[in-house]
Structure 1
């Protein structure tokens, strides 16, 4: 009965997870600007996802509230569609740039992988 009322949490750390944590600590000591850049990049990517989700929700809300018989004449809806399209294009460009930057950062971080592997 207790098992049905509780959630079991597994706190076991995998070797790969431990290695990644040690890698982050080593890079933070050796090249703190690189680790800060990596963390900022992760935050930006999450912000992009949230922004896209909000845009999609707003768009769906506008579409569901629009009158089907006058949907093509609804200027606020059309302007909202154009704004959403432009913003999503900008975000797509920023996401592509963030991915390229992430690859560069990961290449630099991999130099410290042997230290992290030894530590784990």
Structure 2
């Protein structure tokens, strides 16, 4: 007798929960979002952002430019989608254009052992 009353109460609670608009909405939207993200992520990775990042390296020592160019060439060989372009700008003022990243190495920076 107790078990049948418990089943009636459980069934009524289940029907009350399943009948809500939020449950029905989530029942439809969660699979759409899951499978949509599976399709969307590779598509976004193929696009690759579509813009060039501008990175300023203020190298007072003169030691970094060769390393940066070598790293960019190595990356460009391994990735065919987008290319890194390294330019040396000697006499322009870096505050004139908007940049995405900054790296500054002063001329009196200590040398690190390799």
TM-score normalised over the length of structure 1: 0.28
TM-score normalised over the length of structure 2: 0.29
Of Structure 1 and Structure 2, the greater strand share is in 2
- Structure with larger RCO (C-alpha < 8 A, sep 6+): 1
Of Structure 1 and Structure 2, the greater helix share is in 1
